[in-house]
Amino acid sequence: MIITYKLDDEPERAWPFDAGKMMSPECEAIERVTGVDYLEFQKRLATGNAKCRRALLWVFLKREHPTLRFDDVTFPYGAVDIEFSVEDLGRLEKQARDVLRDDELDDTLRALDVLRESAYEVVEGKAVRKPAVSDI
């Protein structure tokens, strides 16, 4: 999963997010500011919860600015988005091939191909947007 942050007058920033690779102090900080456990945070993040998006952005920004306070992180809701990485799309394609058939599979594969055209790749731990070529 890729978390993007884009304000009108600034360049887009993007971070790869793998819930299982977050450091425990960061997970605990997220639990503290959101008031929910880390597993529930992940569910709420996926469904668009504003406070969870803010908490994750805060953690990423705090890596660069260690004294940054949660209350100092404010942004228009649409400035933070969740996108798929090339790797994510590959996993979704495999799942689709395992469970879908015929037209439904064809439609899904076409949609995944469209998403791949502007997907992020994770290169050396950083999210980089560039056209991706399917390995399949």
The predicted-structure confidence for 68-92, as pLDDT tens digits, reads as follows 999 999 999 999 998 988 998 998 9
Cβ count within 10 A of residue 132: 19
Q: Is the pLDDT of residue 136 over 50?
A: no
Q: CB-hemisphere CA count at 13 Å for 81? A: 12
Residues 68, 60, 40, 47, Cα dihedral to 10°: 110
* Average pLDDT, rounded, for the chain: 92
**Per-residue pLDDT tens digits for 48-57:** 999 999 999 9
Per-residue model confidence (pLDDT) at position 134: 46
Cα 14 to its chain centre, rounded Å, is 8
Confidence band, pLDDT 50/70/90 cuts, at residue 130: low
What are the sequence ranges of the domains in the chain?
2-83, 86-118
* Cα–Cα distance measured from residue 59 to residue 41, given in angstroms and rounded to the nearest whole number: 13
- Of all helices (H) and strands (E), which one includes residue 13? strand 13-16
Q: How confident is the model at residue 118 (pLDDT cuts 50, 70, 90)?
A: confident
Instruction: Decide: 2 and 16 in contact? Cβ < 8 Å.
Output: yes
pLDDT tens string 12-42: 999 999 999 999 999 999 999 999 999 999 9
